[in-house]
């Protein structure tokens, strides 16, 4: 379980195709020091299991299912990624409950300056949009954000200066694919009501 509060910008130091999946090594020393083999770490919003820790870097293997449902298959060496260690009992929940289970890949529609921040429209498939509500939570590339506006095929988020400085979202541009995770609480409510 995660919160969508990015703790560190990591750097991809290795990305090698392996058995239909991908072997990744991410340099993120602040996260690596508190991570053990077998621990979960969110990388751009994707929950991965650490297979080795060495010299401030963590190794992971992303299986074909993960590659098919996220943008991880397109990362390259030297790319920056949003990194968050798993939430530990007793830690502050600063964002919202995030599983690290990407629901779909969205595409950035537009990026517009808004005060000192940005307003970003993200085109999303119906299976994500059905759970989006104004002022509700959504995760974009592992970052917990508030839905600022809804459109027929997209939602907007307002990015504040801190988020732009602390995450990869400052690099967003139209056409870029991003990992999306809808609020899991909305899914549970839907399931309970449908019964």
Residue 115 CB partners (closer than 8 Å, separation 6+): none
Q: Please write the tens of the pLDDT for every residue from 144-173.
A: 999 999 999 999 999 999 999 999 999 999
Go through 89-106 and write b for each residue having 16 or more CB atoms within 10 A of its CB, e for each that does not: eeeeeebbbbbbebbbbb
Domains located in the chain, CATH noted: 8-85 (2.40.30.20), 104-194 (2.40.30.20)
pLDDT for 57: 98
pLDDT for 95: 80
In DSSP terms, 52 is beta-bridged to 59
pLDDT for 185: 81
pLDDT for 145: 97
pLDDT for 87: 86
Is 44 in contact with 141 (CB distance < 8 Å)?
A: yes
pLDDT tens per residue, the chain (195 residues)? Answer: 899 999 999 999 999 998 889 999 999 999 999 999 999 999 999 999 999 999 999 999 999 999 999 999 999 999 999 999 998 877 777 788 899 999 999 999 999 999 999 999 999 999 999 999 999 999 999 999 999 999 999 999 999 999 999 999 999 999 999 999 999 888 888 788 877
Distance in angstroms between the alpha carbons of the first and the last residue of the chain: 26
């Amino acid at each position: 379980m995660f919160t969508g509060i990015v703790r560190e910008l990591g750097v991809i130091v290795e990305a090698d195709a392996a058995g239909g999946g991908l072997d990744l090594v991410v340099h993120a020393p602040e996260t690596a020091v508190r991570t053990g083999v077998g621990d979960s770490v969110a990388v751009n919003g994707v929950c991965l299991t650490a297979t080795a820790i060495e010299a401030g870097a963590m190794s992971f293997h992303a299986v074909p299912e993960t590659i098919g449902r996220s943008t991880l298959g397109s990362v390259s060496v030297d790319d920056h990624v949003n990194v968050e260690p798993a939430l530990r009992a007793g830690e502050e929940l600063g964002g919202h409950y995030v599983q690290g289970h990407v629901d779909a890949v969205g595409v950035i529609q537009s990026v517009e300056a808004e005060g000192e921040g940005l307003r970003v429209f993200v085109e999303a498939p119906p299976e994500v949009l059905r759970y989006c509500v104004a002022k509700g939570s959504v995760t974009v590339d592992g970052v917990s954000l508030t839905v600022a506006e809804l459109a027929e095929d997209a939602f907007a988020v307002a990015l504040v200066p801190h988020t732009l400085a602390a995450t990869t979202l400052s690099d967003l541009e139209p056409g870029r694919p991003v990992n999306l995770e809808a609020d899991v609480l909305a899914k549970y409510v839907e399931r309970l009501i449908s019964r």
